Amino acid sequence: MSKTDAPHRFVTAAEMQVDTLPWGPHEWLCRPGLTDASDLQLVRVRMPAGTGHAFHRHPELEEIIYVVDGEAEQWVGETCRRLGPGDLAHIPRDEVHATYNGGSDTLVFLAILSPARSIGPALIDVSGEAPWTTLRVSTGDAP
């Protein structure tokens, strides 16, 4: 383990920092304190079947979701697409979005955010507000 050697130029399973969240482990591979990140953050999420990260927005961050393995039910605004390995979603700064595991296997995806720091809150949960509360049910995407 070389966590004490940060900032790293190379990050493998030995150096990554893992956060445990309700929608699966978050394996941080690039963020301040781990690398010399200024403009880029990258976290690999391993989302179990039946879970998801409900509708939210990042007021100061642009984001990419890149699917590594499994199937994502990916929302950007009020539009939903099923994404597979190698597919990408682009989420402009402050746009509402959500990611659910759309299959029966673990969904693995990269969330890439820019810049590497926020001055205000990094994330605002809007999952309890209209139209996001009922969107998945009304479109038939909810299981």
Is residue 109 within 8 Å of residue 115, measured between CB atoms?
no
- Residue with smaller CB distance to a copy of itself, 22 or 86: 86
d(CA 64, CA 113): 7
Nearest to 88 by CA among 78, 96, 77, 99: 99
User: What are the strands, taking DSSP E only, across 31-87?
Assistant: 41-47, 52-57, 62-69, 72-76, 79-83
Q: Is 133 within 8 Å of 73 (Cβ atoms)?
A: no
Candidates 17, 49, 51, 87; binder of a copy of itself (CB under 8 A) is 87
CB 9 within 8 A of CB 24: no
Stretch that binds a copy of itself, among 56-64, 98-106, 118-126, 134-142 (CB under 8 A): 56-64
Quick note: the x/- pattern for a copy of itself over 103-142, rule CB under 8 A, is: -------x-x-xx---------------------------
Q: Is 36 in the site for a copy of itself (CB under 8 A)?
A: yes
- Residue selected from 3, 19, 59, 81 as contacting a copy of itself according to rule CB under 8 A: 81
Contact 100, 111 (CB under 8 A): no
Nearer of residues 7 and 50 to a copy of itself, judged by Cβ = 7
Q: Please report, as a single letter, which amino acid is at residue 113.
A: L
- Nearest distance in Å: CB 56, a copy of itself: 16
Q: Given the rule CB under 8 A, which residues bind a copy of itself?
A: 7-13, 29-30, 35-40, 42, 44, 62-64, 66, 68, 74, 76-77, 79, 81, 83-84, 86-93, 110, 112, 114-115
